[in-house]
Amino acid sequence: MAASPAYGEEKGGSSSLGEPEYGHDPASGGIFSSDYKRHDDLKEMLDSNKDSLKLEAMKRIVAMIARGKNASDLFPAVVKNVACKNIEVKKLVYVYLVRYAEEQQDLALLSISTFQRGLKDPNQLIRASALRVLSSIRVPIIVPIMMLAIKEAASDMSPYVRKTAAHAIPKLYSLDSDQKDQLIEVIEKLLADKTTLVAGSVVMAFEEVCPERIDLIHKNYRKLCNLLIDVEEWGQVVIINMLTRYARTQFLSPNQNESLLEENTEKAFYGSEEEDAKDAKAEAAVLAKCKPYVMDPDHRLLLRNTKPLLQSRNAAVVMAVAQLYFHLAPKAEVGVIAKALVRLLRSHSEVQYVVLQNVATMSIKRRGMFEPYLKSFYIRSTDPTQIKILKLEVLTNLANETNISTILREFQTYIRSMDKDFVAATIQAIGRCATNIGKVRDTCLNGLVQLLSNRDELVVAESVVVIKKLLQMQPAQHSEIIKHMAKLTDNIQVPMARASILWLIGEYCEHVPKIAPDVLRKMAKSFTNEEDIVKLQVINLAAKLYLTNSKQSKLLTQYVLNLAKYDQNYDIRDRARFIRQLIVPTEKSGALNKYAKKLFLAQKPAPILESSFKDRDHFQLGSLSHLLNAKAVGYQELPDWPDEAPDPSVRNVEVPEWTKCTSREKRKEKVEKPFYSDSEGESGPTESADSEPESGSEENGSSSSSGSSSSGTEEEEEEEEEDSEEQSEDKEEEEEEEDIGTKKAKKKAPQGRKGRAETSSEEASTSESSSSVSDSGSEAEAKQRKPPSSKASSKEISLLDLDDFTPPPVQPIPSSSIISTSLVTDLEGLTLTDSSLTPTLLSPAFSAVKTYELLHRMAGEGLAVEYCFSRRPFPGDPHMVAIQIQISNNTDTEVKNLRVNEPKPLSGMRIQEFPEIEHLAPGDTATVLMGIDFCDSTQAANFQLCTHTRQFYVSIQPPVGELMAPVFMSENEFKKEQGKLMGMSEITEKLTLPEKCQSDHTIVQQLTSAANVGRVPCGASNEYRFAAKTVTSGSLVLITLERREGSMAQLTINSEKMVIGTMLVKDIIQALAQ
Amino acid sequence: MIHSLFLINASGDIFLEKHWKSVVSRSVCDYFFEAQERASEAENVPPVIPTPHHYLLSVYRHKIFFVAVIQSEVPPLFVIEFLHRVVDTFQDYFGSTNVGDQLPTGQLSVVPWRRTGVKYTNNEAYFDVIEEIDAIIDKSGSTITAEIQGVIDAYVKLTGMPDLTLSFMNPRLLDDVSFHPCVRFKRWESERILSFIPPDGNFRLLSYHVSAQNLVAIPVYVKHNISFRDSSSLGRFEITMGPKQTMGKTVEGVMVTSQMPKSVLNMTLTPSQGTHVFDPVTKLLSWDVGKINPQKLPSLKGSVSLQAGTSKPDENPTINLQFKIQQLAISGLKVNRLDMYGEKYKPFKGIKYMTKAGKFQVRT
């Protein structure tokens, strides 16, 4: 269709450099080459009556085709052999025919009768292959023959032939779309097929021919769900994707009543609308004002039956299930897919590429899901750049206040990468973190400013661009930075960066009134040599300065505008003219002139730095369209959930006559032998007949009804049909059962259910395997908990994350000199200066979180308790020091009711106990947070730690450095505050820095590990400044460390809290001496 | 789904093509070549390339690009996974030479992954438990992230239709698993036993991830001192490595590679053992260390000459490690029993353990 053979040949001949090496091959060369005779040679071989010669010739011909050579002139010679008895020759002839029939339609017709004969062959494999080839020949004349053949094959006894019929459908459809109606009939028939072999192929045909005919799926829905696990891998992908779309049209969103559910879990959980009238319990649901959500059992069936496929070895299957859960599952259940997706990151880089794109989209909507796997997205220097950038995207999406310090520390490493594209992307990522997480904005900004003195110009340029965006959010506080950037115009050459700086200075010229005109002066000088985007910004700057400070800049502006007037670029000439009219008042300039200031100096909204993956989930995940972020040909939209659920009874199945015979036939032939989970499958009976161990395991979980399923137990289905009226009544009960049944499952044996008939799906839902019962049981439990507890559990998750922070034991590096100090200082700002941030948590590189023992394992009789100062504001009370407590149960028994008892605080001291831990299983570890207001004193807080059997007296004594929280301030503020705290409030001590503690990095690390302080930027290179506020009274603590000659240094602490100051001096000196 | 397939070798020749639907001109590959040029490195060619009328999905293996041409929506992983399977099949197939003279009978078998009528005089089943440690170690030697991924590869030559079960002493270690389709999922769910009718020959039975709660033992440590000085065009380079938590086993097959910054001209190094190569073009240093002898730790020391006039590189190179430890599954996973049902003969069974470095990186 697409290419004429001659063209293909030309292409092939000219582009193939390997040509000469094929020269010796008799089969090589095309119709233009002189070796026509060699084809004669092949013809001769084909005409011989020796199969071996024919085979040899066919092999060469097929090899020619594979190399893209034209072999069409051999058509008559080859086609003669279509009737050859030798199956090997025959196969190769078929390959040839499929390739060239389209071009030689008349001759191709000669072969048709052979296939027609093949279609009647007693061997199912021959029948199938005849149909396969027949349907692959793209000759419009034979459409009616193909149609007939497909129809016949669709009723073949052999499932393999029926599968081939399904494969033939899309081929015929693409040849002649007028056949659609007839093909739909065949599809409908094949959809009803109950063998796993056919299922995938027919759904594929359905998707290609009539994806809009969702009604065809209703009756087959439950069967497809149940067969799924035994369908071959590729079929699974197609079916799962189709069922995702189906479910979106037929069921209600499981997350629609989210808020309600949280408030009113219990009622919503039990209640179902229909029950209201009869059931007293349901009265409550009415009170809930809103219609409670009840998941359709069929919806649940789909979720349950796809879940085991997350364990598939096939990445496409795992992805298909993951997208199904993402689009269909209740929020609380989506999490299960994260682990499987993270597993795929171990696969080939192409797989990683696709998976990461999807994870990037998912992580925006459901961040919590991937948070536990944060480290799996850490970047290795050996990753390809495209993978690095995607991982960076995911890391950025996952950043939140809890983990941002860890992430920023990773980013520091990335900035030192040799891969400059990646470094640029990292800087952008830092910018995004800064926008999204207000608390680290200053930290990031500082870090980026430090990067401005980086040696690599690209790094500097990228930083400038990002800083510009960040500054726009709160320009007033950052005139220092703007000044700093103004200086950079002398050095930075990257046009984008220069333009950004100029824009910044123009926009905030009022914050830097002295510098701005000077910058303009310099730029006017170099104007003619600047790039266009820079020129435009120079004009812009000139205009803004003219409006705010016309005295100093009038002449300069005139000069710039004159230069621009004669620029080569007409955009620039145009802009200059426009601006002159706008800002320079003349008689002609009219009304606009008055508003020039408003036009130029209007408040401009800060740019929003957001992920390019935002909202990409309106495309079905895992699809090509999602990956390209553009609708691909043939993409089926993922519909929105309906407001009202369509009638669920459409999925109830009547039993057609022929079901029985196929099923009987199947049992006899044992074509089906499923190996995965089978309790829901039709395979139950076959399976148990075949393999002992499995049926055993199957039964133990799912009791008697497990064997009954769509095809395995037609009798039951027939019953069901008779009882269909009854069924509608039962429906309500069923629904209830679907909800609470899982919970009750253990108590209430399914046999006990009044012996009434059941729909297969319902059975499946109640008669789960043991594991899934417990699964949904716990899920039910989880749902029943009241909203506070669900909140608590989310908190728990974030607390657990703290484990990630507990840094591995830092091994002091013997050779600290190898650290490239320049970069370390470049980057310190990234982590070290922020009031709300927790420098110590950040990094083992800078400081280690010290863990203290609260209760030794021996003293605690197997209960070991450790604590550390999390260095984060204690939620709810800013005057408390947050203490993270980690309790491990090393006993053999469960520890219950773990709580704080009888705190005996000294006067004024307050203790906020952690919520009681109800159970702690043996070997488990729980992490909780408690807050203590130490009243700015280092007195110990005493309390009892109780379990259900024992109580232990424990106490926490804080090091003085933990009684404070970092404060961010500028150099000037620091000096100002320091001036207020002289005399009595100042303590000075001299010290000698040990050899190990000479580098900036180590000093900062040691100091911040000794005290929870924030770094203050400092102009002098031999000085370090830190600031903090005491937690209770908020008194400032200012620390200055000044290095003198040699290893001498002087430590100064300014604080009105003299006691704290004195103790802190001692602690810091000790820390630095280590 | 897949319209056509093109195979492109390292020098950019399309040396094989196959069309399933109509013939797509090989000129469509020009879009691919363009993307390849843009990407500069093979591994950075986007696996999905949209063109005006087609989509090109490709995988890169054995220095060959397998480029599939697609015309309409299809899950990209479907194609990519399929292409990888094609490559796997090629790999298997080119071991033997004959064109199969059989019809695809496997499709009709009771167990589609196993041929019927398999017969051997020696019945044997071998299982290799292979674990890989993926780790990032920071410059101070502390572990940033470390995890263990394992696989069980099997080589099974058993007559008839054997039904095997394999159980572990400590199945709880396995946090996340994925199975060959032959494994009965239900049985695993309920009893943590691998129950399966094996395919004939080589196959991967199971891949697993060891739960993150368990601390990962890091079997080697690397001490490094790599410094570039601003003033001179010389730098120092020194690596020493030693065994750490090896459970008394020998670490062997050790190989160190490191990508040096562009400004490194040459390296003059002396290894205490093994051989090393520095490629001044790719700037790749590799050191084939061999075994680590705890009594005499291997080291590689010397100087680095930098391009004169350029400032010292900002970045320090990352050190990539490979190693092997025989007879050890570092997670502690142990196979408990292997039983066979369904056939009468007594097969020969063997289980081997091995630990390897996966993506093992030391930042400096």
Tell me: the pLDDT tens digits for B12-59? 899 999 998 888 999 999 999 999 999 888 889 999 999 999 999 999
At residue A594 the predicted structure's pLDDT band, cuts being 50, 70 and 90, is confident
Look at residue A457 and tell me whether its pLDDT is greater than 80.
no
Look at residue B232 and tell me whether its pLDDT is greater than 80.
no
Between A351, A456, A633, which is nearest B73 by CB?
Answer: A633
Look at residue B277 and tell me whether its pLDDT is greater than 90.
yes
Q: Of A15-19, A953-957, A1005-1009, give the lowest mean pLDDT range.
A: A15-19
**Set of chain A residues whose Cβ sits within 8 Å of the Cβ of B72:** 632-635
Return all residues near A602 (Cβ < 8 A) that are at least 6 apart: none
- Mean pLDDT, rounded, for A699-725: 42
The answer to whether B164 touches B117, Cβ cutoff 8 Å, is: no
Say how far apart CA A993 and CA A1003 lie, in whole Å.
Answer: 9
**Closest CA–CA distance from residue B344 to any residue of chain A (Å):** 16
Question: What pLDDT is recorded for position A756?
Answer: 44
Say how far apart CA A991 and CA B62 lie, in whole Å.
Answer: 62
In what side-by-side order are the strands of the sheet with A925-933? A852-855, A863-873, A881-889, A925-933, A910-912
Q: Of A366-380, A484-498, A519-533, B58-72, give the lowest mean pLDDT range.
A: A484-498
Q: In degrees rounded to 5, what are phi and psi of residue A90?
A: -55, -45
Q: In degrees rounded to 5, what are phi and psi of residue B323?
A: -160, 170
- Mean pLDDT, rounded, for B96-101: 44
* B244 touches A: beta carbon within 8 Å: no
Return all residues near A65 (Cβ < 8 A) that are at least 6 apart: A71, A95, A96, A99
B320–A382 CB contact, under 8 Å: yes
**Closest CA–CA distance from residue B358 to any residue of chain A (Å):** 10
At residue A448 the predicted structure's pLDDT band, cuts being 50, 70 and 90, is confident
**Number of other CB atoms surrounding residue A769 within 10 Å:** 25
Nearest CA-CA partner of A332 in A724, A739, A783, A922: A783
A315–B81 CB contact, under 8 Å: yes
Question: What pLDDT is recorded for position A211?
Answer: 93
- Mean pLDDT, rounded, for A1021-1026: 84
Return all residues near B107 (Cβ < 8 A) that are at least 6 apart: A160, A197
Instruction: Output A245 or A588, whichever has higher pLDDT.
Output: A245
Cα dihedral B2/B3/B9/B14 (nearest 10): 180
The answer to whether A381 touches A410, Cβ cutoff 8 Å, is: no
A351–B26 CB contact, under 8 Å: no
Alpha-carbon A462 to chain mean position: 26
Considering A401-405, A588-592, A651-655, the range whose residues carry the highest mean pLDDT is A401-405
Look at residue B1 and tell me whether its pLDDT is greater than 80.
yes
Side-chain half-sphere of B123: how many Cα atoms within 13 Å? 13
The type of residue at B290 is G
Say how far apart CA A242 and CA A331 lie, in whole Å.
Answer: 21
At residue A810 the predicted structure's pLDDT band, cuts being 50, 70 and 90, is very low
Nearest CA-CA partner of B224 in B133, B321, B294, B323: B321
**Set of chain B residues whose Cβ sits within 8 Å of the Cβ of A313:** 178-181, 204, 207
Between B50, B176, B262, which is nearest A339 by CB?
Answer: B176
Look at residue A263 and tell me whether its pLDDT is greater than 50.
no
Q: Which residue of A has its CA nearest to B235?
A: A818
Return all residues near B98 (Cβ < 8 A) that are at least 6 apart: none
Look at residue A3 and tell me whether its pLDDT is greater than 70.
no
Say how far apart CA A137 and CA A82 lie, in whole Å.
Answer: 14
A815–B225 CB contact, under 8 Å: yes
Instruction: Enumerate the H helices of A366-494 as residue ranges.
Output: 367-370, 385-398, 404-415, 420-436, 441-451, 457-471, 479-488
Look at residue A299 and tell me whether its pLDDT is greater than 80.
yes
Phi-psi region of A645 (alpha: psi -120 to 50; beta: other; left: phi over 0): beta
Mutate to test the interface with B, among A245, A343, A624 (most CBs of B within 10 A): A624
How high is the mean pLDDT of chain B?
Answer: 88
**Set of chain A residues whose Cβ sits within 8 Å of the Cβ of B359:** 380, 382
- Mean pLDDT, rounded, for B250-270: 91
Q: Return the CA Rg of chain A.
A: 38
What pLDDT, in 10s, does the model give residues A125-179? 889 988 998 998 888 889 999 999 999 999 999 999 999 999 999 999 999 999 9
Compute the C-alpha angle B142/A398/A311, nearest 5°.
85
Q: Of A594-608, A664-678, A1002-1016, B323-337, give the lowest mean pLDDT range.
A: A664-678
Instruction: Output A671 or A507, whichever has higher pLDDT.
Output: A507
What pLDDT, in 10s, does the model give residues A65-118? 998 888 888 888 898 888 888 888 888 888 898 888 888 888 888 888 888 888
**Number of other CB atoms surrounding residue B144 within 10 Å:** 21
At residue A590 the predicted structure's pLDDT band, cuts being 50, 70 and 90, is low
**Set of chain B residues whose Cβ sits within 8 Å of the Cβ of A241:** 75
Question: What pLDDT is recorded for position A777?
Answer: 42
Say how far apart CA A830 and CA A23 lie, in whole Å.
Answer: 64
**Set of chain B residues whose Cβ sits within 8 Å of the Cβ of A698:** 186
Say how far apart CA A805 and CA A795 lie, in whole Å.
Answer: 16
Instruction: Output A600 or A847, whichever has higher pLDDT.
Output: A600
Residue A663 buriedness (CB in 10 A; 0-12 / 13-18 / 19+): buried
Phi-psi region of A946 (alpha: psi -120 to 50; beta: other; left: phi over 0): beta
Say how far apart CA A55 and CA A53 lie, in whole Å.
Answer: 5
Mutate to test the interface with A, among B194, B314, B343 (most CBs of A within 10 A): B314
Question: What pLDDT is recorded for position B58?
Answer: 95
Instruction: Output A950 or A709, whichever has higher pLDDT.
Output: A950
* B110 touches A: beta carbon within 8 Å: yes
Q: In degrees rounded to 5, what are phi and psi of residue B131?
A: -115, 140
Question: What pLDDT is recorded for position A804?
Answer: 38
The type of residue at A735 is E
Look at residue A836 and tell me whether its pLDDT is greater than 50.
no
* B229 touches A: beta carbon within 8 Å: no
Across the A:B interface, residue pairs with CB atoms under 8 Å apart total 296
Nearest CA-CA partner of A558 in A590, A533, A592, A583: A583
B103–A319 CB contact, under 8 Å: no
Give the three-state DSSP class for A619: coil
Instruction: Enumerate the H helices of A220-314 as residue ranges.
Output: 221-227, 233-250, 258-263, 265-270, 283-287, 297-306
**Percent of the residues in chain B that have a pLDDT greater than 70, as a whole number:** 93
Nearest CA-CA partner of A134 in A162, A103, A113: A113
**Set of chain B residues whose Cβ sits within 8 Å of the Cβ of A129:** 103
A694–B186 CB contact, under 8 Å: yes
Q: Which residue of A has its CA nearest to B211?
A: A339
**Set of chain B residues whose Cβ sits within 8 Å of the Cβ of A355:** 77
What is the reported pTM?
0.66
Question: What pLDDT is recorded for position B324?
Answer: 94
Say how far apart CA A225 and CA A239 lie, in whole Å.
Answer: 9
**Set of chain A residues whose Cβ sits within 8 Å of the Cβ of B142:** 807-811, 844
Q: Of A110-119, A130-139, A302-311, A851-860, give the lowest mean pLDDT range.
A: A851-860
Question: What pLDDT is recorded for position A813?
Answer: 40
Look at residue A814 and tell me whether its pLDDT is greater than 60.
no
Nearest CA-CA partner of B323 in B135, B142, B127, B61: B135
Residue A1040 β-bridge partners:
A1025, A1052
A678–B186 CB contact, under 8 Å: yes
**Set of chain A residues whose Cβ sits within 8 Å of the Cβ of B313:** 418
Question: What pLDDT is recorded for position A747?
Answer: 44
For residue A740, give the DSSP letter. Answer: I
Look at residue A258 and tell me whether its pLDDT is greater than 70.
no
Return all residues near A1033 (Cβ < 8 A) that are at least 6 apart: A936, A1057
Look at residue A784 and tell me whether its pLDDT is greater than 80.
no
Helix (H) or strand (E) holding B236: strand B234-243
Between A386, A625, A811, which is nearest B44 by CB?
Answer: A386
CA distances from A411 to A61, A71, B235 (A): 57, 57, 26
Look at residue A916 and tell me whether its pLDDT is greater than 90.
no
**Set of chain B residues whose Cβ sits within 8 Å of the Cβ of A378:** 136, 144-145
What's the token pair of residue A493?
């050459």
Question: What pLDDT is recorded for position A279?
Answer: 46
Considering A299-303, A456-460, A885-889, the range whose residues carry the highest mean pLDDT is A299-303
Residue A831 buriedness (CB in 10 A; 0-12 / 13-18 / 19+): buried
Between B70, B317, B363, which is nearest A413 by CB?
Answer: B363
Q: Which residue has the tokens 């594991």?
A: A771
Q: Which residue has the tokens 């997670």?
A: B331
At residue A317 the predicted structure's pLDDT band, cuts being 50, 70 and 90, is very high
At residue B248 the predicted structure's pLDDT band, cuts being 50, 70 and 90, is confident
**Set of chain B residues whose Cβ sits within 8 Å of the Cβ of A455:** 311, 314
Return all residues near B344 (Cβ < 8 A) that are at least 6 apart: none
CA distances from A807 to A834, A965, B40 (A): 20, 20, 38
**Set of chain B residues whose Cβ sits within 8 Å of the Cβ of A845:** 138-140
- Mean pLDDT, rounded, for A976-1004: 82
At residue A257 the predicted structure's pLDDT band, cuts being 50, 70 and 90, is low
Q: Which residue of B has its CA nearest to A696?
A: B187
Q: Of A383-392, A598-607, A701-710, A941-950, give the lowest mean pLDDT range.
A: A701-710
Question: What pLDDT is recorded for position B102?
Answer: 52
Between B59, B99, B105, which is nearest A348 by CB?
Answer: B59
Residue A955 buriedness (CB in 10 A; 0-12 / 13-18 / 19+): exposed
For residue A906, give the DSSP letter. Answer: P
**Closest CA–CA distance from residue B1 to any residue of chain A (Å):** 10
At residue B156 the predicted structure's pLDDT band, cuts being 50, 70 and 90, is very high
